[in-house]
Amino acid sequence: MADSLLTPDQILKVIPGKVTFDGTVDNASDNGLAVRGYRFDKTDVYIPSMRDYKLVRWKSEASKLGFYTGNRWLKQSVIPGDVTILARGEPSRWFWMEDIDVSHVYVSQSAVARVANDIFDKEIDHLNIEHIASAQDPILTALMESYERECLEGGLGGQLYASTIEMQICIHLVRKYAKCKLREIQVESRIPPLKRKKIEEFIVENLDQNITIDDLAKVVGFSQSYFIRLFRNDVGVPPHAYVLARRLEKAKEMLRSSPDIPIKVVAIECGFSDQSHLTRLFKNKFSITPMKFRKVKTSKVVFDFFQSKS
């Protein structure tokens, strides 16, 4: 689509009003979800084609809401808790006869498409969600309210919790509102070299972090299900097994080359939760504990050094 599509940060350029809470629009990924609150003045407004789907959760009543369908005005009322859905890539015209309080959740096409790929286990040729002036959808309303609250207040595991709600919102949209054209996934036998290089670089740079299947799939722009099958076909093992092997090889190299670094530090830098986690997996893989491996390798280095001097 064209670069001129309206983005979430430009809403107040076309609808008169003010932001009531900033939410996550300014720091959200273009490929994910974002939330922001508004108080809009009564208006008759033309909204240009948007980049994202816009979910509107009504916090105030609008007894006179109008949506132009293309040949006539559809007039109705909404109450707090109702939801309006604006399609992406399609302009729309609206009016409301009183000031209104709403919150918006912006949903990218790629976020919905990734979920749809995994739900149907097929590639998506086309996915569309049409304008819906008013929907009484308690599930979507509750999800939007929970997402807003988590983004504003946070808490223990906040980012993970917000990501889970994002996934639920996308699943609900696909289940209830999306129209999809599907095709069978044709799994190639090899990952393209440039994409394979991106995956390798990402793993190397983030071995000390929690690397998920979703992280790896996003690096190369594949759905999770397609990425898992393609990776297994190309590499011969699932992605999580490959990442674990890279962690263990890095740990082995650090134990060999840096005898002064504590093993618990090696564990953390290689992405293990603690020393015991590293020890258990290291022994399973190499039939020796990290401590014994380090002693053996250190003794061999000293022996080789003196042999070279004799």
**Interacting residues of 19 by C-beta distance below 8 A, sequence separation 6+:** 12, 36, 37, 38
SS3 297: helix
Q: Which pLDDT score is estimated for 180? A: 78
Provide, rounded to the nearest whole percent, the portion of the chain with pLDDT above 90: 65
Q: What is the distance between the alpha carbons of residues 242 and 240, in angstroms, rounded to a whole number?
A: 5
Is 242-309 a CATH 3.40.50.1980 domain?
no
Cα separation, 109 vs 127, in Å, equals 8
Band of pLDDT at residue 183, cut at 50, 70 and 90? low
- Which two tokens mark 45? 């407004």
Whether 194 has a pLDDT exceeding 60, the answer reads yes
Instruction: Report the pLDDT value the prediction gives residue 295, as an integer from 0 to 100.
Output: 87
- Regarding predicted confidence, which is higher, 238 or 155? 238
**Closest-CA residue to 137 (of 188, 185, 81):** 81
Architecture field, domain 8-183 = Sandwich (2.60)
**8-183 and 242-309 agree in CATH topology:** no
pLDDT at 158: 80
Give the residue among 238, 241, 262 at the shortest CA–CA distance from 251.
262
pLDDT tens per residue across span 235-285 = 989 899 999 999 999 999 999 998 889 999 999 999 998 999 999 999 999
Count of C-beta atoms within a 10 Å radius of residue 232? 15
pLDDT-derived band at 188 (thresholds 50, 70, 90) equals low
Segment 38-44 mean pLDDT: 97
Q: Output the pLDDT for position 299.
A: 60
- Nearest CA to 246 among 264, 276, 271? 271
Per-residue model confidence (pLDDT) at position 309? 43
Alpha-carbon distance 272 to 9, whole Å? 39
CA distance 47 to 86: 10
Q: Where are the domains of the chain?
A: 8-183, 193-236, 242-309
Ranges of H-type helices in the chain: 109-120, 138-153, 158-176, 193-205, 213-220, 224-235, 239-257, 263-269, 275-286, 290-309
CA 257 – CA 71 distance, rounded (Å): 74
| 1: confidence class by pLDDT, cuts 50, 70, 90 | very low
Nearest-Å Rg of the Cα atoms of the chain is 26
Q: Is the pTM of this model over 0.85?
A: no
